[in-house]
Chain A
Amino acid sequence: MQSTLQQANRKLAIRMMVIACMMFGFGYVMVPFYDAFCQVLGIDRANSDFANTSAAVIRVEFDTNVDDGLAATLEALDPVLAAKPGGLLKARFRLVNKSDQPLKVRAVPSYAPARSAGLLQKLECFCFDALTLAPNEQRDVTVVLLVANELPAELGAATLSYTLHPELAPS
């Protein structure tokens, strides 16, 4: 009788110890699980790219506007990006023609603060040319920026804004 109880006790204790060991492992399993979870959900987490503390990191925000009465939308798909000095920055935008007519538009950029224009140089931009959109067409376009090697330390963030205008026919 006594030994049956002891056996039962021992069995239960071993089970508990196994659970405890598994829970210790669970703490470690949370590491890759957390990485995957953040990646899938696109949660902005600490990134080792930002760990280079010797170089200032600049935050570039993209803003969009559309002229009154223009039946189109412009949306920044990557509204905020972090850039390293000397690096390239690629931002995507989505253009939609909401009318049943073909539409010829042009995006006009502006920088804030204005001096950041000289530090973020456009290598390629959808704003270089006028764009013709078919009725109800949706098109993804890009801008590629070259970030200056030397960034002033006090410049933490810059905004690049695009406003969509109808392209007027040359008179």
Chain B
Amino acid sequence: MTTANDALHAPSHDHAHEEHHVSFVQRWFYATNHKDIGTLYLWFAFSMFITGGIMALCIRAELFQPGLQFWQPDFFNQLTTLHGVIMVFGAIMPAFTGLANWMLPLMIGAPDMAFARMNNWSFWLLPPAAALLMISFFVPGGAAAGGWTLYPPLSIQAGMGMDLAIFAIHLLGLSSIMGSINIVTTVLNIRAPGMTMLKMPLFGWTMLITAYLLIAVAPVLAGAVTMLLTDRHFDTHFFKAVGGGDPVLFQHIFWFFGHPEVYIMALPAFGIVSQIIPTFARKPLFGYVSMVYATCSIAILSFMVWGHHMFAVGMPASTQLFFMFLTMLIAVPTGVKVFNWIATMWQGSMTFETPMLFSIGFVCLFTVGGFSGLILAIAPVDTQMQDTYYVVAHFHYVLVAGALFSLFGATYYWLPKWTGYMYHEGRGQFHFWWSMIWFNVTFFPMHFLGLAGMPRRIPDYNMQFTDFNAMATVGAFCFGLGQIFFLFNVIHTIRGGVGKAPASPWEGANTLEWEVASPAPHHTWETPPSLEIVEKGLKAQGLLGDHHE
């Protein structure tokens, strides 16, 4: 078995030879290798991130000062809608799936994902979906303009841009479901010998639970938008009040999907920082088992709290209380996680390389987002805050400082493994501090705007909101500029960076992916890692023998 491992460190002539015969088109368009597909996913997600980001900047430009400067209100609504849809379904979710594709097989000692061809298919559904969304700007009536939640009656009355959005969501959902089936099967069936479920890296756990969540809720969203589609064109009346339907029903179905979706975008982030923090604190993750249980509890609770998005639609007080208390209950497992991350850092030999900075930034800012979430969970407060900028501030703290920062951290952490080169540390740290500062300049004032009553999804506003809006716009443009720098950073690393990376560039990293050479060869773990290697890593992670299964 050791020989198999040695073979991974030395470039394999067989594989190198085999790759020579593969053309660019064959390698990338017919890709079945989990690393290639992971790379495709990550580049796709980044391009969507830039696309959605440009829309965000268009929104912020309009909001720089009161009055209408650049866009008509209808186009402004199209921008907010597509910004949301693209960031959620096109950027964050595919980025996590890409990471899972790249890293999961390496981390659990599998040769590839369970269904390599389906993997190719689930990726190639994404570009057509993105194309449908982009084309929708140019059809009569423009793109969908009812907000990313697509509430009827707006979404029933909208033009054909909404149909394109619905088809795009179908494709994106199908892609997510296939990707999730792949992840679940890979994690459950092809782990290395000796790696039992409770010895698996936490990233594996969070991706597994996320995949289950997606399999459970993505079809529900597909159902909801299908009902929208038939209401629009086939004379059904699910949500049309004229025919006896109820628009509020759409909100129930949508948020039954939508709330778990929030955790679909948060749990993988939890997994990533749970890998990074122990590495740079040089200590095993504190409370591994409680982390696993906390992840499961969050997932289960996420199915029971959708009503907190709908406090303002008119709900019996008892139902409001039910949703309010259950929502607050989610803070408990989330608190367990934050506690464990801090306890992992406690008395560790910490160093502050870029991935660690992004992870600590994640913990701090995600906690702020969590607290504003707790405030919004209180039904009477939520009634006041409904659809104000406070909500916008809250979910951007969760999704930008949460999901996005963890993705940046993951990129810097695994970039040496992907490219075989080290990134420029100073530039990485500059990217972190730049993002950290301008993120807060952008989104922190939105709390004040919301508390003062500024509504979201509005292109014009009262004079009193001018200063904080101007501040947020300046922040947003600087934050956006920083991401170009990130792209430059990554390309610089791909082209050689600051030198070759060793198999394990991080002193405290003990998971299996660091056992293979950098860059990871095209084929890894074709022979599963030996028990010896697995146990060595598990011992270093404090996972051997000191907890029950």
Contacts and interface: CB of A to CB of B under 8 A. Distances in A.
Among B221, B246, B256, the most chain A Cβ lie within 10 Å of the Cβ of B246
Given A8-B189, A46-B241, A51-B242, 14 more contacts: A12-B188, A16-B181, A20-B177, A20-B218, A24-B223, A25-B223, A27-B219, A27-B220, A27-B221, A27-B222, A30-B249, A30-B252, A34-B249, A46-B245
Contact of B224 (A27, A47, A48): A27
B217 interface: yes
Interface string B229-255: 000000000100111111111001100
Nearest to B113: A9
B215 interface: yes
A128 interface: no
A77 interface: no
A44 B253 contact: no
A30 B296 CA distance: 25
Given A9-B114, A20-B218, A43-B316, A27 B223 contact: yes
A13 B115 contact: yes
B134 interface: no
Contacts of B181: 13, 16-17, 20
Contact of B253 (A17, A20, A27): A27
A9 B115 CA distance: 8
Contacts of A31: 227, 238, 249
Among A16, A43, A47, the most chain B Cβ lie within 10 Å of the Cβ of A16
A92 B219 CA distance: 45
Contacts, number: 86
A63 B275 CA distance: 64
Contacts of A12: 184-185, 188-189
Contacts of B343: none
Contact of B244 (A8, A25, A44, A48): A48
A25 to B, nearest CB: 8
B185 A19 contact: no
A25 B184 CA distance: 22
16 contacts: A8-B189, A9-B185, A13-B181, A16-B215, A23-B218, A23-B220, A25-B223, A27-B220, A27-B224, A27-B253, A30-B252, A30-B253, A31-B249, A41-B316, A48-B242, A51-B241
A34 B253 CA distance: 10
Interface string A33-47: 010000001011111
Contacts of B190: 5, 9
Interface in B153-201: 177, 180-181, 184-185, 188-190
B545 interface: no
B300 to A, nearest CB: 15
B314 A44 contact: yes
Q: Please list the 3 inter-chain residue pairs (A to B) with the smallest Cβ-Cβ separation, ordered nearest first.
A: A27-B223, A48-B244, A24-B219
Contacts of B227: 27-28, 31
Nearest to A14: B181
Nearest to B244: A48
B249 A20 contact: no
B381 interface: no
Interface residues of B, number: 36
Contacts of B223: 23-28
A34 to B, nearest CB: 5
Contacts of A19: 215-216
Interface residues of A, number: 28
A8 B187 CA distance: 12
Interface of A: 5, 8-9, 12-13, 16-17, 19-21, 23-28, 30-31, 34, 41, 43-48, 50-51
Contact of B246 (A21, A24, A25, A34): A34
A23 B215 contact: yes
A48 B180 CA distance: 40
Nearest to B186: A9
A29 to B, nearest CB: 9
B30 to A, nearest CB: 21
A48 B243 contact: yes
Nearest to A38: B246
Contacts of A51: 241-244
A17 to B, nearest CB: 7
Nearest to A21: B219
A18 to B, nearest CB: 10
A43 B313 CA distance: 12
Contacts of A48: 241-244
Nearest to A53: B242
Contacts of A47: 244
Given A13-B185, A16-B184, A41-B316, A46 B248 contact: yes
A21 B222 CA distance: 10
Among B115, B188, B189, the most chain A Cβ lie within 10 Å of the Cβ of B189
B27 to A, nearest CB: 25
A28 B220 CA distance: 8
A98 B240 CA distance: 48
A15 to B, nearest CB: 9
Given A12-B189, A13-B114, A26 B220 contact: yes
A13 B314 CA distance: 41
A45 B246 contact: yes
B246 A46 contact: yes
Contacts of A46: 241, 245-248
A25 B219 CA distance: 8
A12 B113 CA distance: 14
A46 B222 CA distance: 24
Contacts of A26: 219-220, 223
